[in-house]
Amino acid sequence: MENPQSPAIAASTENLSRTQVVDKPMVESRGGIVASQSRRAALAGVAVLDAGGDAVDAAVATSFALGVAEPWMSGAGGGGAMVVWRADEQRAYAVNFGLHAPGRLDPAAYPLAPEAPRSEFFGWPAVLEDRNVRGPKAIAVPGTVAGMGLAHARYGRMPWRDVLAPAVGMARQGLLVDWYAGLLISSCTRELAQDPDAAAMFLDEGKWPIVGGWTALAERRLDQGKLAHTLDHLADQGPAAFYTGDIAEALARDIQDKGGYLSAEDLRGYAARLEDALAIPYRGARIHATPGHTAGPSLKVALDELQAALRTPAAGRDRPGPEAYVAMARALDRSFKQRLTQMGDLDSPTAPACTSHFSVIDRHGNMCAVTQTLLSAFGSKVVSPSTGLLMNNGIMWFDPEPGRPNSLAPGKKCLMNVCPVVGETAGGDRYAVGASGGRKIMSAVLQLSVFLSDYGLTLEDAFRQPRIDMSGSGTVIANSKLPPAVIAALREAFPTVQTQATLYPYAYAFPSAVMASRGRHFGATEITSPWSDAVGQQE
């Protein structure tokens, strides 16, 4: 049955030009490169590389800088996962810093609202007052600081304080609110106004979105002073201070005062995990993904299906055709069916996921693929007044109905859609890639990996190649730039809706990647994004 949201998807770009060209070339360097959703965060990572830092040092710097540069996407109040490639060991590791439900969480506090329509963004019944989606009861135990601390302790070369310094400076200055920031704030104004501290940070007079001046003469910046103080304290005291020190006590007190469950005990008991990455053989290539409660295992299911179904491209054929797109759609569809029935991740692919992805390579070939998230746009829409942190809404990833694979329970791990990978092509090239976009992430990662591995596309051409999205709804969302023969083949196999790749609303994930090929390094980011960029070291 066709997705009931298909008409809205098809109409979402009806006002847009069909002749405008938007493009973004890849970056090339013999040194390191940081490819990030925020150019300012990428610059922070490259500054650490320039100071002699490892790829992990740059990843930590970029992670904290992203929490300042796009606070509605990710930050210390969220969680995620990372794949680290060590060139000297020729080995990949995964760092899991996912979210957990608080230990004192009471499932009875999330009663279903049978009289209300099912949530627009989920496949399950609505909860009273949307308590699992926004507000203090939606907050899970954050893991980003622990994940960054673990990776830095294992592989970092620079002092922790020096790695956090760029983010501290950015927070003291405050984020410039340009048209894009104003657009994102406007999209969540009603929800942000319900939390006084979120309203004070992002809204004028507690109810109007902060926007930049029409003539670009008026400069508006967010007040991120509390966040700067928190980051400065973390820089001095180390990552453990987030979980056992003054920050932990203040954060737990703030959330409990607002009616949430997060406690100092939850923070004290949190631990990120370092483990071997999930190795996925694919047509003589190999992809290293995150295991556990991520999309990594589902990616393996899809790739296993694909390599059995897709014929090897003919010699000299440098672009995927109808057969390839149908095979990718089928592999993704079957993988999601297994994920939805066995892992319990039932959220709709149209949910407004709030995630950051960045990829790093240093001059020695060490790589990091990092995806971190607050989940929804602006997470829970709750700000901790003592710390200046915007908090996640990890509880929304649990099924509110009892007795199901991913039902809500105290202390339970959240099932994440993040899918950072480090891949090796059969030809010996290596790449790190991932994306933001909730359930759309895995589709993008699989297709980019196929473009690079099966078709030998350059990183630039892979990012320019139109993609589809197949995220469990049974409907293919096909880029309007795909050839008519591809669209026709997809329509024969699945209900298919065409739409453009745009900044807002977005129908596809936003990837960022780096690649090492023939002694050179390359970086690329989502073409439609006005903030994302790959920044390379000067040679």
Alpha-carbon gap, residue 460 to 464, rounded angstroms? 6
Q: What is the pTM of this model?
A: 0.94
Residue 111 is assigned to a structural domain of this protein: yes
Asked whether 360 and 32 are in contact (CB, 8 A), the reply is yes
Amino acid 115: pLDDT: 74
Q: Is 16 helix (H, G, I), strand (E, B) or coil?
A: coil
Residue 106 is predicted with a pLDDT of 96
Residue 388 lies in a domain: yes
- Tokens 């320039």: give the residue: 50
What local confidence, expressed as pLDDT, does residue 4 receive? 54
Which pLDDT score, from 0 to 100, does residue 340 have? 60
Task: Read off the amino acid at residue 285.
Answer: A
- Longest CA–CA span in the chain (Å) reads 64
- What is the number of other CB atoms lying within 10 angstroms of the CB of residue 87? 15
Domain count, the chain: 1
Residue 69 belongs to a domain: yes
Residue 110 lies in a domain: yes
Sign of the torsion angle spanned by Cα atoms 198, 139, 418, 340: negative
Which residue stretches of the chain have pLDDT < 50?
1, 120-121, 315-316, 344-352
Query: Which one, of 224, 255, 218, 227, lies nearest residue 102 by Cα?
Result: 255
d(CA 455, CA 511): 19
- The reply to whether 420 falls in a domain is yes
Rg, C-alpha atoms of the chain: 22
Q: What pLDDT score was predicted for residue 471?
A: 86
CA distances from 39 to 256, 305, 524, 530 (A): 35, 36, 12, 9
Its domain, for residue 251, covers 27-174+223-344+354-466+512-536
pLDDT tens digit string along 392-411? Answer: 999 998 888 888 877 899 99
Both tokens of residue 276? 């071997």
Q: Which residues pair with 92 in a beta bridge?
A: 85
Give a yes or no: residue 149 inside a domain: yes
Q: Which residues contact 112 (CB under 8 A, 6 or more apart)?
A: 125, 126, 127, 128, 400, 401
How crowded is the C-beta side of 27, counted as CA atoms within 13 Å? 29
Q: pLDDT tens digits for 507-535? A: 899 999 999 999 999 999 999 999 999 99
Does residue 500 sit within a domain? no
d(CA 421, CA 529): 21
Q: Is the peptide bond before 505 cis (omega within 30 degrees of 0)?
A: yes
- Strands 353-361 and 367-376 come out as antiparallel
DSSP classification of residue 122: B
Residue 217 counted as domain residue: no
| Residue 531 near residue 38 (C-beta atoms within 8 A) | yes
Which DSSP state fits 351? Answer: S
> Which residues have CB under 8 Å from 396's CB, separation 6+?
122, 132, 133, 138, 347, 375, 376
Strand order in the sheet with 421-424: 27-29, 520-525, 510-517, 430-436, 421-424, 285-289, 278-282
Residues with Cβ within 8 Å of 207's Cβ and at least 6 positions away in sequence, in order, are 189, 193, 199
* Helices and strands, number each (H, E), in the chain: 17, 21
CATH code of the domain in which 283 resides = 3.60.20.40
- In this structure, the strands spanning 520-525 and 27-29 are antiparallel
